[in-house]
Amino acid sequence: MLIVLSPAKTLDYDTPATTEEQTLPDFIEHAAELVDILKTLSPAEVAGLMGISDALAVLNVTRYAGWSRRFTKKNAKQAILAFNGDVYEGLDAPSLNPKQLAYAQAHVRILSGLYGVLRPLDLMQPYRLEMGTRLANARGKDLYAFWGNLVSESLNKALAAHKTRVLVNLASEEYFKAVKPQQLDAEVITPVFEDWKGGRYKVISFYAKRARGLMARYAAVKGITRPEKLKAFDIDGYALDDKASDDRTWVFRRRADA
């Protein structure tokens, strides 16, 4: 069983890492190719391409300029500890013990616009490059064209090490579009998290992102290797709704007034 997550825009390179364990990304040379393109862009061009503020554009132009093919503890941090958005608040990786981090390393992959696929303990230099960015490159008009089959091939390689060939999709739609399910040697299951609001159940982005991280943490803490065990997920008041679910989409719901 393999879990895929989206990355986060918010990064934390100030808090010391809680583990010395580290690995290197598989696609450094591909990332370098993208950085070489990004290095040619001005702050104004980066701001326009990514729809970000001038200050963020300058920050990221500085990041691209300093990006190196050599990853060290001084210029990089383990991905699972560097990402700091809603998903990663739910995951709370700094509090995972060595056994749980080892589980994550084996069973979790993080999809990335710049790095393609990251293992949790892969060193990562700071960046901003969302998968949906229309960055023209030698392979096509955007990052989906750039990564092509590489993401799916990487996931298949990881899945080959597991007895249960199931991919649990806890990534956003934007990032999972980089995966080609028909090429996977695995069944794909997508948990969906809904909250009661305005008289009906709906996906509320902030809560859903956090719940994805909570489920990944739940799997790591319990050492889950069979996806059916995830059906018992009950953190923060969520519970599986069998009637709203099917074989491939598992709907977890909660009501604040329940």
Q: What percent of the chain has pLDDT over 90?
A: 98
Please report how many Cα atoms fall inside a 13 Å half-sphere around the Cα of residue 131, on the Cβ side: 23
* Cβ(113)–Cβ(143) below 8 Å: yes
* Cβ(34)–Cβ(114) below 8 Å: yes
pLDDT digits (tens, 9 = 90+) for 128-167: 999 999 999 999 999 999 999 999 999 999 999 999 999 9
pLDDT digits (tens, 9 = 90+) for 175-212: 999 999 999 999 999 999 999 999 999 999 999 999 99
Q: How confident is the model at residue 232 (pLDDT cuts 50, 70, 90)?
A: very high
Query: Which residue type occupies 98?
Result: P
Distance of CA 176 to the CA centre of its chain: 9
Q: Give the pLDDT confidence score for residue 215 in this predicted structure.
A: 98
pLDDT digits (tens, 9 = 90+) for 76-96: 999 999 999 999 999 999 999
State how far the Cα of 156 lies from the Cα of 258, in Å rounded to an integer.
41
- What are the extents of the domains in the chain? 2-25+77-254
Return the bridge partners of 62, or none: none
Please choose, from the candidates 54, 31, 221, the residue with its C-alpha nearest in 3D space to the C-alpha of residue 118. 31
Q: How confident is the model at residue 257 (pLDDT cuts 50, 70, 90)?
A: low
Judge whether residue 17 has pLDDT over 60.
yes
State the alpha helices, DSSP H only, in 108-237. Answer: 143-147, 150-159, 173-176, 205-222
Instruction: Please give the DSSP secondary-structure letter assigned to residue 9.
Output: S
Please choose, from the candidates 49, 80, 78, the residue with its C-alpha nearest in 3D space to the C-alpha of residue 64. 49
Q: Give the pLDDT confidence score for residue 113 in this predicted structure.
A: 98
Q: How confident is the model at residue 256 (pLDDT cuts 50, 70, 90)?
A: confident
Please report how many Cα atoms fall inside a 13 Å half-sphere around the Cα of residue 109, on the Cβ side: 25
Give, for 58, the enclosing helix (H) or strand (E): helix 54-66
State how far the Cα of 39 lies from the Cα of 22, in Å rounded to an integer.
27
